[in-house]
Structure 1
């Protein structure tokens, strides 16, 4: 029997979304690979959030297998390449997929035997057939198949649960995004077409898994049109009618607040609330980001939007971007005031990050402002927890001081508990409202360690002097273009 190792790499010691214990979830893409693999294979998995695939000396921690499959987003990829190198030294075939390999295939192909671009639902069985016949190709492109293809196979959650006993899983209901926010890689990776999975298929998968906690694994479960909204309502209505009892969380935009019917269905179907990209309260910043949805709502209407969501007992998990062009040293106080005045239940953030092949990367690169360009090693900094480009409307010292101000006034001391009490008073009049407020508090409590590590990263950057280096006068590697020529 052939053996396959599935690996989710992780830089040791990093804290991020994976550190939010209340929703620690399995890497669903690896569960799909196990389910899509035909024939007689034995599987094992290493999630480096739980245990390491290589030790401090770069030596493997597991016995050789026939094939190693590694997934990777950008900040994981330098670690993934080291794992791949160790595996290939032992004679194992290594296949890499995920966002980074799909977006920068020219680079990834140098470190593995085969790369997989796009989505695996239709093409993965061919990869296995080629491997078994000794004909593994260097590159495969699964494209962006319709989500009706997911009806034919459900991810093998049991394999991963048996190994690590994850408390939460995710489920796919849509993919792609027609918007083009300048910092976002979703349209590049999943396409600009908003693809919807038949809601009956989603319900069937929900019924087939014993996972009670589910994260909807997409950027906007509500969608971008009336038809999409009706499909979302049909899904939630189906959960209620079938008695599918799940504690679920998802991502959407604040414009959902205008639809009282969907908010009611969400609450009745077990929803905690949702994460939405507030990004900024400065409309000039939103315009530069091309954050059109938020511009249509208008920052002045955020309070009413949040209140309508709270009226249904749901928490608002706001995500913001810090350090975008247009942000100045006073923006941190303005955002802190906004969070407190608008009763944002959960606040998490990312430092503005130019992910490869995004409009933001192209612009900052053309302006010669990126100072972390020693690729692939420097990809580890592209995690929204580090500054990788020079700021224009404030100094690095301003940025550090502003971040400290937000931490002191939103998280430190009794501030997090005071915010929790406010949430409890706002949405806690019902049983599910109390549960949801506690969920928000637990997320915020785990985010403290993330915030503290970001502050540590910033201070290390300040002390290193790297922020002031001009990498455009060095011989550092740059992101290859689609034609393989450095840009």
Structure 2
């Protein structure tokens, strides 16, 4: 009897997002070793302690959500469950957060394709080890995720698949390379297509789940030959799809043409900053160019591809002028469809965290605040309380009616209903509902920092 617990997304948009793929994927890896298998997504429902105690409880979690996961794991361990941890926090903070070793019978460090079957085999043989670190060098033949274990009614959509893992870029702030190493893995295209066919034909799906596919990839366009093959095979399927990639994909006309023809509805792009100094400090100046933002966005929008732009606030090179005057002006000018904004979050494994700790610029080390929405450090040029307040205001300004109207004019007339629908889904972020954090109390602490 195995249960897989995932904490869901901590931020204000969590009800508008698809499920994280991690738990359904882990379920597929665990299925051959389980008589009964279930998923608990804490983002859509609380843990039910009235169900029979699972023999094995597997938890995946990020740093900010570990308090929530730890509390559940502690109860289940007292009831006799074997506790297995994995995911970003267990991997990157294994030597930093003593609670991981305290509560877990076993920790999977890094990738799970080989480690999860090995751990469950050893458990069944009475020989479970304390840690498993088993990197993979291929995604050939990976199992189809157990999306059928999710209640599709509780998500905006549920058809999520993986095509690639990793990213060829080396941005300073990114933790992908720390999780997986500096590598880029690709599934055989035919296996990706087969899973899309399977997942979109599951019994009981609604229309959107059969039509829309979301790729749980960091950057599927790193290998354009592979990406083009995928797009060409998607065309006759007549699906819609979303994924994450770099804005400079717009510089390849053949790729953009294939993206449009294959049903791309939008891409999530890391714009990150409108400051050249910030981009250079994060080793992103060769990927992003402020001078090219408008042209690249126009190319994608002209081809009816929506842009979900990601911005980060609180780098040491940032100023109030660059963040809260120049940034909204440029975002409106280029006309991105949606905004996903986060604050810089220094994770314990990183050189940046160690630097901030050495310079006494960390405001707290309490894990629940490391969620991407609450300021946990003192930037060089902006007071943290000012940054927190203006960060919230900037999001509200982006989804204000004047901003929506300005950005709408950049979109093809046929896409305006879709543009308005997407903005309606995200226009009212509730920053006071970030999991485990009272933002008003946190602001009081920041004012004294």
Work out whether the TM-score is over 0.5. Answer: yes
Matches within 5 A, 1:348-427: 348-373=340-365, 378-400=366-388, 402-403=390-391, 405-407=393-395, 409-412=397-400, 414-415=401-402, 417-419=404-406, 422-423=407-408, 425-427=409-411
The equivalent residue for 2:242 is 249
The equivalent residue for 2:35 is 41
SS at match of 1:44: strand
The equivalent residue for 1:302 is 293
Q: State the 1:457 CA deviation.
A: 5.6
Aligned residues of 2:66 and 2:367 also touching (Cα < 8 A): yes
Q: State the 1:405 CA deviation.
A: 4.7
Q: State the 1:263 CA deviation.
A: 1.3
Matches within 5 A, 1:327-342: 327-331=318-322, 332-342=324-334
Change over 3 Å in CA distance of 1:350–1:45 after alignment to 2: same
Q: State the 1:411 CA deviation.
A: 2.4
> Structure 1: any 5+ residue segments left out of the alignment?
55-59, 469-487
Q: For residues 323-354 of structure 1, what are the alpha-carbon distances to aligned partners after superposition, in whole Å with 9 as ceiling and x for unaligned?
A: 11111122211111111112122112100110
Aligned residues of 2:231 and 2:258 also touching (Cα < 8 A): yes
* Equivalences, count: 434
The equivalent residue for 1:220 is 219
Change over 3 Å in CA distance of 1:278–1:65 after alignment to 2: same
1:77 aligns with 2:62: no
Matches within 5 A, 1:105-116: 105-106=94-95, 107=97, 108-116=100-108
RMSD: 2.5
* Aligned equivalents of 2:248, 2:55: Cα separation in 1: 49
Alignment TM-score, normalising by the size of structure 1: 0.82
The equivalent residue for 1:209 is 199
Runs of 4+ in 1 over 4 A off after TM superposition: 162-166, 450-454, 456-459
The equivalent residue for 1:9 is 7
Aligned residues of 1:218 and 1:250 also touching (Cα < 8 A): yes
Aligned residues of 1:177 and 1:190 also touching (Cα < 8 A): no
1:194 aligns with 2:184: yes
Q: For residues 66-92 of structure 1, what are the alpha-carbon distances to aligned partners after superposition, in whole Å with 9 as ceiling and x for unaligned?
A: 111111111111221111111101011
* Aligned equivalents of 1:336, 1:268: Cα separation in 2: 31
Alignment TM-score, normalising by the size of structure 2: 0.89
Q: State the 1:180 CA deviation.
A: 2.8
The equivalent residue for 1:477 is none
Aligned residues of 1:317 and 1:347 also touching (Cα < 8 A): yes
> Structure 2: any 5+ residue segments left out of the alignment?
201-208
Q: State the 1:285 CA deviation.
A: 1.0
* Aligned equivalents of 1:346, 1:288: Cα separation in 2: 25
1:231 aligns with 2:234: no
The equivalent residue for 2:204 is none
The equivalent residue for 2:124 is 132
* Aligned equivalents of 1:382, 1:441: Cα separation in 2: 27
* Aligned equivalents of 1:406, 1:452: Cα separation in 2: 17
* Aligned equivalents of 1:290, 1:345: Cα separation in 2: 26
Q: State the 1:18 CA deviation.
A: 2.1
* Aligned equivalents of 1:282, 1:346: Cα separation in 2: 20
SS at match of 1:82: helix
Change over 3 Å in CA distance of 1:40–1:327 after alignment to 2: closer
Q: For residues 252-279 of structure 1, what are the alpha-carbon distances to aligned partners after superposition, in whole Å with 9 as ceiling and x for unaligned?
A: 1111011122112112222111111111
